[in-house]
């Protein structure tokens, strides 16, 4: 494995860019699909954007070495896979499925390749651990932002 070198900031900020593209699709379709109020969807997506922006900033600051950033990249790639799985299970369009194979998964694979080439593989040698951390981050963050959005809606009525 090559010695550790920093990955370009484009790898880190690419996470935020790919997330924006995916979440624009979700923003346009999630409320109708989930029957949640559009305002709640907006709040949840905005809060998730803060988390992704923080992960991207940390990745840029550390040259990709941040565990938070690497876990976020893993979580984002897995998020793309769940979009595909959900659409396949339901046999129809689901929010985010159009950008999952065209933006989300390609970004995650590209970022993983760039990080591996810089001596910073996403897995630290244990793919199962990386997947569990990625799924954990995705689940906790998603539940939290949707919970906060639900509370915000409840308080405003």
- 122-137: pLDDT as tens digits: 766 655 665 555 556 6
Report the 10 Å Cβ neighbour count for 40.
20
**Distance in angstroms (rounded) separating the CA atoms of residues 98 and 117:** 29
Give the separation between CA 103 and CA 122, rounded to whole angstroms.
19
Comparing C-alpha atoms, which of 19, 15, 105, 23 is closest to residue 60? 15
Residue 138 pLDDT grade (very low, low, confident, very high; cuts 50, 70, 90): low
Which ranges constitute the DSSP H helices of 4-126? 9-34, 38-61, 67-90, 105-117
| 9-31: pLDDT as tens digits | 999 999 999 999 999 999 999 99
pLDDT at position 68 over 80: yes
Q: Return the pLDDT at 141.
A: 63
């Amino acid at each position: 494995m090559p010695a550790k070198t920093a990955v370009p900031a484009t790898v880190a900020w690419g996470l935020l860019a790919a997330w924006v593209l995916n979440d624009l699709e979700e923003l346009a379709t999630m409320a109708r699909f989930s029957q949640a109020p559009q305002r709640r969807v907006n709040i949840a997506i905005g809060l998730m954007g803060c988390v992704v922006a923080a992960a991207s900033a940390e990745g840029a600051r550390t040259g990709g070495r941040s565990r938070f950033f690497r876990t976020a990249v893993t979580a984002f790639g897995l998020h793309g896979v769940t979009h595909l799985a959900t659409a396949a299970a339901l046999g129809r369009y689901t929010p985010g499925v159009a950008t999952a194979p065209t933006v989300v998964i390609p970004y995650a694979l590209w970022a993983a390749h760039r990080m591996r080439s810089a001596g910073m593989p996403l897995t630290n040698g244990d793919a199962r651990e990386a997947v569990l951390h990625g799924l954990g981050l995705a689940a906790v963050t998603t539940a939290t932002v949707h919970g906060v959005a639900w509370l915000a809606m409840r308080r405003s009525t």
